[in-house]
Amino acid sequence: MKLLEQYRAACEVRRLAKRTIQTYCRWVEEFLRFHHNRTGHWIHPREMGEKEVEAFLTHLAVNRRLAESTQNQALGAILFLYRHVLEQPLGSLDAVRASKPKRLPTVLSKDEVRRLIAALPENASHRLIVELLYGTGMRISECCKIRVVDLDFDRGQIIIRGGKGNKDRVTMLPQSLEERLKAQVEFVRLRHEHDVENGAGYAPVPTSLEHKRHNAARDLRWQFVFGSAVIRLDKETGRRIRWHAHPSAVDRTVKHASEVARINKRVTCHTLRHSFATHLLENGYDIRTVQDLLGHKNVETTMIYTHVMAKPGVGVRSPLDA
């Protein structure tokens, strides 16, 4: 088995997210290619060690000027290679690292959120996604991957499966969106019936679920609430699959809406998550509650929103206003 095939298999055994596996494999390829370009021949990673890893990380910081988070991603991929594939753990590393800039998140005011939403077409699915992002604090990737089974109307909850760190969590289902979400599910049901009649109707599902329930991929419950407009052929299975809406398409919609609404800030889908957290804290909710809703591992990550609340300086009045 080739090295990258071994690497991918090791990632899958440890249940890493699909996007994480793709990213890690790309970094391992770049690591190998960097030393090939440097020496003129391919070197197996078993023949390399801390010195070569340090050289690669320094290259990322000095020559490519990548951010600290990107360097950490590359380091994580290489450490995984040596620890879990080669079973040859590395020692301490001493590479040049990029410094992490301290940046505050962009937050919209409640009026700006209203203007942004109003600038979106009223019955468009992207508008419903945008309202869910602000109303629940979900990441855009999480929202696009919601399935019919994840909406619990009776309990007023949405189950977020396989979020960051491959963790599940629960968030609120905004009452103001309940009827429109039910209408969206009905739309999904009718479209799914049409897809099945035409030989499609499949959604990608985890392999473990496929083994337990053989028809899960074609079950309405496992269809995406915000499915793609296009059905794609899976070459491995021969199935015609309807994937979820693409996050980048929603981001483009949000950017355009912010321009229409004349919001003079850099607005992305993630800005709505920042706004959700900040507005909850401003409304007096406990920071631990906000941490759980956001799915943050550490409360320190959630604390950043206390710095952008609409109460700078603990209510200190500017001398200009005196």
H/E/C letters for each residue in 241-279?
Answer: EEEECCHHHHHHHHHHHHHHCCCCCCCCHHHHHHHHHHH
Name the token pair of 18: 């699909």
Q: What is Dmax (Cα atoms) for the chain?
A: 74
In contact, 225 and 146? CB cutoff 8 Å: yes
How many angstroms separate the CA atoms of 134 and 26, rounded? 33
CB 61 within 8 A of CB 95: yes
**Sequence-ordered list of residues with C-beta below 8 angstroms from that of 83, at least 6 positions apart, any chain:** 89, 90
| Catalytic residue ranges | 139, 164, 270, 273, 296, 305
84, two tokens: 């879990």
CA 207 to chain centre: 21
Strand (E) positions, the chain? 151-152, 157-160, 169-172, 227-233, 240-244
Q: Strand, helix or coil at 158?
A: strand
Residue 222, both tokens? 């496992």
